[in-house]
Amino acid sequence: MQTDNQGATFSPEEYARYSRHIIIPEFGLTAQSALKNARVLVIGSGGLGSPSLLYLAAAGVGHIGIVDFDTVDDSNLQRQVLFTTEDIGKSKAKQAQQRLRALNPYIEVTVHETRLDPSNARELIRQYDIVADGTDNFPTRYLVNDACVLEGKVNVYASIFQFEGQVSVFNFLLPDGTRGPNYRDIFPEPPPPGLVPNCSEGGVLGVLPGIIGSMQALEVIKVITGIGEPLAGKLFLFDAASFHTRFLKIRKNEALKIESLINYQQFCGLDLPETPVTEMSVVEWEELRTSGRPYQLIDVREPYEYAIAQIGGELIPVGQITSFLPFIARDKPVIIYCRSGVRSARAIRELQALEPFDNLYNLKGGILAYGKEIDASIPQY
Q: DSSP character for 190? A: P
The whole-number average pLDDT for the span 308-337 is 93
268 annotated active-site: no
Total number of residues shown for the chain = 381
Q: Which domains does the chain have, with CATH numbers?
A: 38-267 (3.40.50.720), 279-373 (3.40.250.10)
The one catalytic residue among 107, 130, 169, 199: 199
Residue 294 has pLDDT above 60, yes or no: yes
**Alpha carbons 46 and 53: distance in angstroms, whole number:** 10
Residue 109 has pLDDT above 70, yes or no: yes
Tell which wins on pLDDT, 7 or 186: 186
Tens-digit pLDDT profile for residues 32-85:
999 999 999 999 999 999 999 999 999 999 999 999 999 998 888 999 999 999
* Cα 104 to Cα 51, 55, 65, 99, 108, distances in angstroms: 14, 10, 14, 9, 9
The amino acid at 291? S
The whole-number average pLDDT for the span 113-130 is 96
Mean pLDDT of the chain: 92
Which pTM does this prediction carry? 0.77
Tell which wins on pLDDT, 194 or 284: 284
The one catalytic residue among 40, 336, 338, 347: 338
Closest to 168 measured CA to CA, from 153, 151, 143, 186: 186
Tens-digit pLDDT profile for residues 327-374:
999 999 999 999 999 899 989 998 998 999 999 999 999 999 999 999
Give the count of alpha carbons within 13 A of 266, CB side only.
Answer: 4
Tens-digit pLDDT profile for residues 186-210:
999 887 766 666 666 667 888 999 9
The amino acid at 46? G
Closest to 60 measured CA to CA, from 98, 109, 110: 109
148 annotated active-site: no
The whole-number average pLDDT for the span 321-330 is 93
Window from 178-187, 200-209, 267-276 with minimum mean pLDDT: 267-276
Secondary structure percentages of the chain, helix, strand, coil, to 5:
40, 20, 40
At 273, the pLDDT band (50, 70, 90 cuts) reads low
**Share above pLDDT 70 across residues of the chain, in percent, rounded to a whole number:** 94
